[in-house]
Amino acid sequence: MFPFSLTTVSDTREALNAGSHGGRYIAGGTTLVDLMRETVERPDTLVDISGLPLREVTVTERGGLRIGALVTMSEAAAHPKVRTTYPVVSQSLELSASAQLRNMATIGGNIMQRTRCTYFRDVTAACNKRDPGSGCAAMEGFNRSHAILGTSDSCVATHPSDVAVAFAALEARVHLVGLGAERTVPFADFLLKPGNTPNREQALRKGELITAVEIPAHPRPLKSGYLKVRDRQSYEFALTSAAVALHIRGGVIREAKVAAGGVGTVPWHLPAVEEALIGERPSDRLWAEASTHAADDARPLQHNRFKGELLKRTVERQLRIVGESR
């Protein structure tokens, strides 16, 4: 390990002051400490924000859900309102990491977590995300777990979060605060595709702090759920996943929200699948036809050609599970 300083803050202004001077925020530390041990990240100053009052799940005036940035994954998954209103969020959290990690890791940290690309974590490998301009070892290397959607010539790493896929499907918003200003960013704009700057991963300004993730009220009740396909049943990242939320009334699908994980450089919203569902009656044929759009625009690599077909089957299966649930 290398030397660094640690500052503990007790209010938001103190945190923002430290953050605006280059301090890195840390709460659960379940990603950042690993990366520091591997010297992938070498911050001079850590700002411990775990004492800030950002640990509540509240219902907003408009009936949405606001999950504080420091709510742990376990707390969010177990919250009665989350469980009953958005099972897709609870399930995505419960299928993530291990129980010990879920007890430490926060919602804010979860959506900020960095890729599991092995070359990113190997400081001897070329990696544009870790060391801009150095190249991408994954392009010609072992890229079975990498992305097929949203990739660029600079980077093909997947975003590892499960709950971010649920947030993408539900069109969540990220609440941010900086020195002198608060703002809200649609989840779809918060995480950035790699393009030519894979080292820039979030639409954060210098020193900005995530305060909450808000799931807007959906006036029509949604049935929802999350399916994760992985090489082993626990403590593993997704090869593919699907977050699905449907409103079915009078035997017709009135609203559909679908996103995929394990396949994109960011959680991958699937509007073409949604469009194929809306106005239709649930049936095996519909699930199969709609899911054919899941891998539109996919650009597979040498070792992950299977992901396009696996994604379609994952989406089809989860559409059926949610669409036919009582």
DSSP string, 57-97: EEE-TTS-EEEETT-BHHHHHH-HHHHHH-HHHHHHHHTSS
The two structure tokens encoding residue 264: 């994109």
Cβ contacts of 163 within 8 Å, gap of 6 or more: 73, 76, 89, 92, 93, 96, 107, 110, 111
Cβ contacts of 178 within 8 Å, gap of 6 or more: 16, 20, 205, 206, 207, 208, 209
CB of 202 to ligand SF4, least distance (A): 15
Residue 263 binds to ligand SF4 (criterion: CB under 6 A): no
User: What does the angle CA 129 – CA 227 – CA 269 come to, to the nearest 5 degrees?
Assistant: 55
Residue 187 binds to ligand SF4 (criterion: CB under 6 A): no
CB of 128 to ligand SF4, least distance (A): 4
Residue 198 binds to ligand SF4 (criterion: CB under 6 A): yes
Among 71, 137, 222, 258, binds ligand SF4 (CB under 6 A): 137
Among 106, 128, 224, 314, binds ligand SF4 (CB under 6 A): 128
**Rounded to whole angstroms, how far apart are CA atoms 51 and 55?**
9
Residue 172 binds to ligand SF4 (criterion: CB under 6 A): no
CB of 138 to ligand SF4, least distance (A): 4
**Nearest-10 crossing angle of helices 284-291, 306-323:** 140
Residue 213 binds to ligand SF4 (criterion: CB under 6 A): no
CB of 135 to ligand SF4, least distance (A): 8
CB of 234 to ligand SF4, least distance (A): 25
> DSSP assignment, residue 234?
S
Residue 115 binds to ligand SF4 (criterion: CB under 6 A): yes
**Rounded to whole angstroms, how far apart are CA atoms 314 and 320?**
10
Largest CA distance in the chain: 63
Q: What amino acid is encoded at 159 in this protein? A: H
Residue 129 binds to ligand SF4 (criterion: CB under 6 A): yes
Binders of ligand SF4 among residues 151 to 170 (CB under 6 A) are: 155-157
The two structure tokens encoding residue 40: 């992938």
Among 25, 86, 119, 226, binds ligand SF4 (CB under 6 A): 119
Binders of ligand SF4 among residues 43 to 72 (CB under 6 A) are: none
- What count of other Cβ atoms lies within 10 Å of the Cβ of residue 133? 8
- Whose Cβ is closer to ligand SF4: residue 136's or residue 177's? 136
Residue 291 binds to ligand SF4 (criterion: CB under 6 A): no
Residue 237 binds to ligand SF4 (criterion: CB under 6 A): no
- Whose Cβ is closer to ligand SF4: residue 68's or residue 264's? 264
- Whose Cβ is closer to ligand SF4: residue 157's or residue 166's? 157
Residue 114 binds to ligand SF4 (criterion: CB under 6 A): no
Residues that bind ligand SF4 (CB under 6 A): 115, 117, 119-120, 127-129, 136-138, 155-157, 198
